[in-house]
Amino acid sequence: MATRSDVSVGEGVVAKKQNRGPPLKFLAPLIYAPILPLIRIGLRRNPVVRDRLFTAVLAGGFLHGFYLVTDLYDVESKS
């Protein structure tokens, strides 16, 4: 009788890709979160550009979060 280790060594074994690093899509807030106060401090003398850039980065953060949540729900609904 074949043991379980004999079957795994045989044909039809699919090697799974091992993900060794953290998913980079979850590390994006570490990049854009510190940028928000730097925009407010660095562009004090130009309030129009400061407010537009701050709003654009903040909207990008919300869109990124929305993408992650909808992607998560999509994966959960498929399984």
Instruction: State the chain's mean pLDDT as an integer.
Output: 81
- Residue scoring higher pLDDT (42 or 72): 42
**pLDDT band for position 7 (50/70/90)?**
low
pTM here is 0.64
Res 1: pLDDT: 56
Distance CA 54, CA 70 (A): 24
Res 2: pLDDT: 56
Distance CA 67, CA 61 (A): 10
Phi/psi of residue 47, nearest 5 degrees: -65, -30
Provide mean pLDDT across the span 73-77: 70
Cα 41–chain centre separation: 27
